[in-house]
Structures are given as structure tokens and as C-alpha cells.
Amino acid sequence: MRILFLCLGNICRSPAAEAITRAKAVAAGLDVTFDSAGTGSWHLGEPPYAPMIEAASARGYDLSTLRARQIGPQDYAGFDLILAMDENNLRDVLDQAPRDMQAQVQMFLEGPAGPQDVPDPYFTRDFETSLDLIEAGAEALVADLLADQAK
């Protein structure tokens, strides 16, 4: 299983989701490949945003080795699942999708009332709430992957 997390610039939410979900999947004994990308190209090759690195590090997650990249046509074939952090990212990734897309594309979070956005802390400055949501989403995803593996 190969999973790609997607946000706008690939410097806050999606790299955090990649690192957090990877840590939780490893702890659960899952063999899954995780990566992250952005819909935009503003930060190509840059590390995640320093305040996000610091906030994630305080919770025990290391984002320092990750580098921003933009989603490309190869990702639609190379990943089984692409998880968008908000509805705008979802719309953008579907608008860019090739006709022969193989990946399933959906929102990262599903709330009680349906899909839920992870607010962008680059703009909101609320890294803790974003990390709370990402941790909850990562735990739910790992539980789903374990359930699928048990079938």
C-alpha cells in the first residue's frame, strides 16, 4: 500500500501527516509507504515550515528530513490512495488528475458529518489544533489499514 498526503505547499499539514502516520504505522507493525506533496510549487525542495517542525517535534515526530515537492502525473499511478487535507486541495488534485488515474482520491479526515478540513496552520498559526486533527486522522487511518490487513 502506498499513500500520499496532499496539502497546498507541502510544508505544514501534509509532511506532518506523512511523519505522524508513518510513526503510528511502524508502531503497529504495518508495511506501508507514505509520502507527501503539495498542489503548488512555491516551496519545492524546502524543508517543512519551522514552526510546524517545532510543534511536531514537541510531540515526538521528526519532520526535519522531509522536503517539499509538487504532485505530478506519476503520483496518480504510483500511489494507491491520495489524501487531501482540505476541500480546495481535493478539488485541485482532482482537476489535475489524468483520465487514467489509478489512485483513489479522498479527504484525509472524515468527521461525524462527513469530510472535514485540516485548517492550514501556515495561515491560522494554530499548529496545535492542526496536529491534534492530524494525529486523530493518522490513528483512524492506521486502524483502517490494520482492519484491511486482518481480512
Catalytic pick among 13, 35, 86, 92: 13
The yes-or-no answer on residue 7 being catalytic is yes
Is 85:141 a contact under the CB 8 Å cutoff? Answer: no
Q: Distance between CA atoms of 145 and 30, rounded to whole angstroms?
A: 8
Q: Distance between CA atoms of 65 and 12, rounded to whole angstroms?
A: 13
Is 84:109 a contact under the CB 8 Å cutoff? Answer: no
The yes-or-no answer on residue 12 being catalytic is no
The yes-or-no answer on residue 120 being catalytic is yes
Q: Distance between CA atoms of 35 and 3, rounded to whole angstroms?
A: 6
Catalytic pick among 75, 86, 117, 120: 120
Place of cell 526535519: 64
Q: Distance between CA atoms of 33 and 18, rounded to whole angstroms?
A: 9
Is 142:24 a contact under the CB 8 Å cutoff? Answer: yes
What are the residue numbers of the active site? 7, 13, 120
